[in-house]
Amino acid sequence: MRIQDLQLQSQLPRAYGVQAIAPHLRSAAVLLPLVPQADEDHILFTVRTQTLRKHKGQIAFPGGKQDPEDESLADTALRETHEEIGIAPQDIDILGALPPFPTHTGFFIYPYVGRIPWPTALHPEPAEIDEVFQVPISHLLQPDVYRLEQRTVAQEDYPVHFYQYQHYTIWGITAHILHDFLARVLALPQDEV
């Protein structure tokens, strides 16, 4: 499957941010990287190292918290992608933004979708990233690779999305963002993806 025309928000208004929605949450941004392959678009994921303080070993999109010098949250996603896997910001074509997601770890995450050139040399930061891998979008649409579970956090039930690819389990906020992206790209109701 090729992603041709995304019906995403091109940029979130400045007023639509942490201050207006949840002032106690910190701003962060991630990039959902689309990789054009010969047969179809793939999505690129990272595997965090076991030495990190938080979310060690988890599968994630490149990203992190907003720094004061970042002019926008899109700049945060681009900077973090460069720091984590070595793709220069000017080489990434931002296609749009997804709605932000609050996390239990105190962040409001703003996801951006961007196309990265391929082939391109990746340079994972060894202190943060153990591995980088790609998943074809068609694989993520197969019904046997997805499941939804309910988890209780701080005495509240939350849906948790899971996607399986080979030996990788994509879950948590990364799977939540992925699920939202797939539903929007395919123009499906959220519960059909």
Unique residue bearing structure tokens 């899971």:
162
Residues 135, 140, 142, 143, CA torsion sign: positive
Give the whole-number percent of the chain exceeding pLDDT 70. Answer: 82
pTM of the model: 0.87
Average pLDDT over residues 74-95: 96
- Burial-class residue 71 by CB neighbours within 10 Å (0-12, 13-18, 19+): exposed
For residues 189 and 3, give the distance between their C-alpha atoms in angstroms, rounded to a whole number: 18
32-73 residue pLDDT tens: 999 999 889 999 999 999 886 666 679 999 999 999 999 999
Q: What is the distance between the alpha carbons of residues 17 and 97, in angstroms, rounded to a whole number?
A: 13
Q: Match 């991630």 to its residue by tokens.
A: 30
Gap between the Cα atoms of 109 and 183, Å rounded: 18
Tens of pLDDT, residue by residue over 135-186, are: 999 999 998 999 999 888 777 788 899 999 999 999 999 999 999 999 888 7
Closest C-alpha to 47, from 160, 124, 154: 124
Q: Give the number of residues written for the chain.
A: 193
Least confident of 17-21, 85-89, 134-138, 182-186: 17-21
